[in-house]
Amino acid sequence: MKRSWILSLSLGLVAGCATLAGPLGSTTDGPVTLRLQPTVQDGGLRTQALVDKPWTRGDIDHVVIVLKRVEGGGESDVVVAGNPVKLDIASGNLSRPISFRGLHRNTTYMVRASAYRAPGEAAENLISAGDGSKAQIEVTNDDMPPLAALPIKLQDILFSGKATTSFDIKDATLSYSGSEGAEFEIPAVVATPEPRPNGILRNFQTFGQTLPYRLQETIALEIGNKLYLMGGLTPNSFNQVVSTDSILVSTIDGTGTPGAFTVAPSRLAMPRHFGWATRLGDFVYVIGGFINSKESSSTTTVERAKINPDGSLGSFSVVEGVTLAQNRGGFAAVNLGTYVYVIGGQTGGGGVPALSGVERAAVLPNGRLGTFQTVAPVLGRARWSMPAIRIGQYVYVPGGEGAGSSGSLTSIERSTIQADGSLGAFSTYGQALSKPRNRLGFGILANRMYLFGGYDSSINQFGTGVDACNIDGNGDLGAFGNDTNCALAVGLENGTTIMTDTAAYYFGGYINSGTATRGLDTIQRAPIEFPIP
């Protein structure tokens, strides 16, 4: 038979521990599976009357859960393959289901939870109270045990939440001598993209403010109402264009308009440009890119920073053991929820051939990023300085350039997202850009794709024209052509684009003219015109 045990996870101030006990039911046997799903609920914090260390749920970097066996008046480690059973859960993923498999019947277990404010398990970073963060569970032959509780108590702070657990019990022999184990149970879930506004993009105009310094090939990422421009190329005191580790930040107001940019307190762990960034749980990851002077050499490194509750960033540090398989910059990338993909790019240096290879890293059960591995679906044509654009079940890779000086491309490649969150083979798409374009920006609305910026090798200049196409209900692209409703105020390349709910923005960039060869500090804005209701 199979019954379910619902466990309420009360994350609050509880003295001692919660013990599960109940009358014996029918005799069943086989290994027992205990499933827990803790969920920290917003608004469940209550400070005590007196606090020395006012920790909040936003201070939690990760939670370590260990499983112990209670016997002989003490506790012993539950060991699998020579290692104690231990789960490390990022704070943003406490709602993920957790399973302790193969628990023995007629055995008492202790589940302990420890919350830390930083990676690792250093004592100075522990912010939970040990005596208030444990639960003793007695596993008998009863397949319907009563309600139990697992308290987790932060030092001087109370918070509460709920979770569920279940015993899956199958008829078999009474004894079970296998080893207990623990793992995350996470089904493959492809991240759902944000809904796209239903409107049209109008002409770009010079925005009413500028960046604090000239900037190109920076790495943009929105986090809540914060917009970050991380790293990039900027002139140094000798007026040489070099990578920077500086980060600019702006607050986006309720109308979708970024405010003035300022230099953020945090900095990248190393200067880099033409890389890529994504958010995973409570962390920002910055991946690869070029280092030193403009596109001269690239890196395999990945760094990350904690996202604070107010949207600000903590200190960046290089993630040990997580690297690209191939050093590259100017690549396309996409986060599909189950995997992060890095596509094409270039290793660095003028005239160096572009890359066709594709790598991916799994999004781990604890919400962290695994290391990258080369995978099969390579590009049909090596290319770099292009984006990866997700539309529905497809990922499009338009334009770019084939080598350091081979000129820009018109072709588009497409891959289909599989049910497990992986990418299928890339193939040349039936439509092509109306003109060659590399180092380009893009904007996506409900039924329209826009490509702007970049160098047009067919006319040997930076055009202001915007290439656009319609998107049908299946995510297929129509024919591209010059959009008569939208154009850049100034034609340039190497800028960085983002879209808010009300407009598209193009930050910085480069044109081969005077001081502009070292980048621009300008911002261009194209409003979204919404249909009349």
> Pick from 493, 425, 492, 437: which is nearest to 469 by CA?
437
Structural domains in the chain, sorted by start:
18-184 (2.60.40), 200-529 (2.120.10.80)
**Alpha helices by DSSP H, 385-453:** none
Question: What pLDDT does residue 62 have?
Answer: 82
Residue 440 near residue 213, CB atoms below 8 Å:
no
- Asked if 446 and 472 touch (Cβ cutoff 8 Å), the reply is no
In whole angstroms, give the CA distance from residue 212 to residue 519: 12
Tokens found for residue 192? 């759902």
Tokens in use for 456?
Answer: 């047009």
CA atoms within 13 A on the CB side of 316: 24
Contact status, residue 35 vs residue 99, Cβ threshold 8 Å: yes
* Amino acid letter, 364: L
CA–CA dist 469, 480 (Å, integer) = 5
| Residue 134 amino acid letter | K
Reading across the β-sheet that carries 373-375, which strands appear in turn?
A: 332-335, 339-343, 358-362, 373-375
Longest dimension (CA), the chain: 85
Q: What is the DSSP string of 185-225?
A: -----PPPPPPPPSSEE---EE-S---SS-BBS-EEEEETT
**Are 423 and 415 in contact, with CB atoms under 8 Å apart?**
yes
Q: Which two tokens stand for residue 336?
A: 């599909």
At residue 178, the pLDDT reads 46
CA distance 316 to 147: 43
pLDDT at 54: 61
Return the SS3 of 374. strand
In order, the DSSP letters of 16-84 are: S-EEE-----S--BS-EEEEE--EEEEEEEEE-SS-SS---GGG--EEEEEEEEEETTEEEE-EETTEE
Q: What are phi and psi of 90, to 5 degrees?
A: -65, 145
Strands of the 219-223 sheet, one edge to the other: 219-223, 226-230, 247-251, 262-263
Q: How many residues does the chain have?
A: 533
Tokens 């107010």 found at:
310
Residues of the chain with pLDDT under 70: 1-54, 81, 92-102, 141-152, 156-191, 403-406, 514-516, 533
How far is residue 314's CA from residue 303's CA, in Å, rounded to a whole number?
12
DSSP string, 127-150: -B-GGGSEEEEEE-S-SS----B-
C-beta of residue 408 within 8 angstroms of C-beta of residue 399? yes
Tokens matching residue 279: 């958010």
